[in-house]
Amino acid sequence: MAFSKLKAIKFGYKKTKEDPFIVVGISLVAIIYLVFPFYIASYLLGINEAMGTIFLFSVLFIDFLIMMGYIKVVIDIHDGRTVSLKDLFVHYKKLPDFLIGLLLYLALIAGGFLFLIIPGIYLAVRLSFSCFFVLQGNNPSIEAFKKSWNLTRGSFFNLLIFYLFLIFINFLGAALFFSGLAFTLPITGIALIYSYRKIAYEINRKKIENVNLI
């Protein structure tokens, strides 16, 4: 299913520009929460291995919560909802499904990479929308995988090129001492939601057209 990559990026930029202080501010806080504690953990591991290990696992739990919250924040920004910093932390009820889905996703990709890399890339693209299904409804991780697989049917190469483009944009953001990621992450995240919604919309539109033709 085709969609305009340029329109997706432009839409992400437009949404980020509408309220840059809030969007970039939330992104910056998320980045700090995700990265900085690992420096503390590495320092503690050098002093006391047990204390460092406990702190590291605590950090991982918080990081998963913030990662999930940030994805939901990006979805809300795309949809024109008001967001705030607390939205990074309020979706803990969905954390078990999100965590199970994320770990399965990473395990499948890792397994695919063991088979000459290409299967891992294929699975990464085809299952890439599963987290959206988990966060937007009551979909357990396996059901979310099935829905992502069905939604991305016929869109692999289009999405692969798009994802490479998004990675390049965030690479440029990271090159600016990582501070640029506070701008590029929301732009590319919203663009990703745009592609997900566009593909879903086109599939539903074709279904309706087929029903009307019967």
Task: Please name the helix (run of DSSP H) or strand (run of DSSP E) that holds residue 29, with its range, or none.
Answer: helix 20-47
Per-residue model confidence as pLDDT tens digits over 91-103: 778 888 888 888 8
In terms of Cα–Cα distance, which of 157, 82, 69 is closest to 121? 157
CA pseudo-torsion sign 98, 138, 111, 167: negative
Burial class (CB within 10 angstroms; exposed 0-12, middle 13-18, buried 19+) of 48: exposed
d(CA 134, CA 147): 10
Q: Tell me, what DSSP letter sits at residue 88?
A: G
Q: Is 214 exposed, middle or buried (0-12, 13-18, 19+ CB in 10 A)?
A: exposed
Query: Whole-angstrom Cα distance, residue 65 to residue 92?
Result: 6
All structural domains of the chain with their residue ranges: 5-213
Residue 130: both structure tokens together = 């599963």
Whether the full predicted model's pTM is greater than 0.75, yes or no, is yes
What CA–CA distance (Å, rounded) separates 61 from 33?
A: 12
Classify residue 179 by its DSSP letter. Answer: T
What pLDDT sits at residue 177? 67
Per-residue pLDDT reduced to its tens digit, 161-206: 999 999 999 999 888 766 788 899 999 999 999 999 999 888 777 7
User: What does the pLDDT average to over 31-52?
Assistant: 74
Give residue 4's pLDDT: 86
The mean pLDDT of 132-161, rounded to a whole number, is: 87
Give the phi and the psi of residue 51 in degrees, each rounded to 5.
Answer: -65, -40
pLDDT at 19 over 80: yes
Closest CA to 200 of 137, 119, 122: 137
Region of poorest pLDDT, from 10-14, 33-37, 72-76: 33-37
Token reading at 86: 């607390």
Most confident among 7-16, 106-115, 174-183 (mean pLDDT): 7-16
pLDDT band for position 134 (50/70/90)? Answer: confident
At residue 154, φ and ψ (nearest 5 deg) are 85, 0
| Residue ranges in 88-180 assigned as alpha helix (H) | 95-114, 118-126, 130-136, 141-151, 156-175
**Across the chain, what does the average pLDDT equal?**
84
Question: How confident is the model at residue 49, as a pLDDT?
Answer: 72
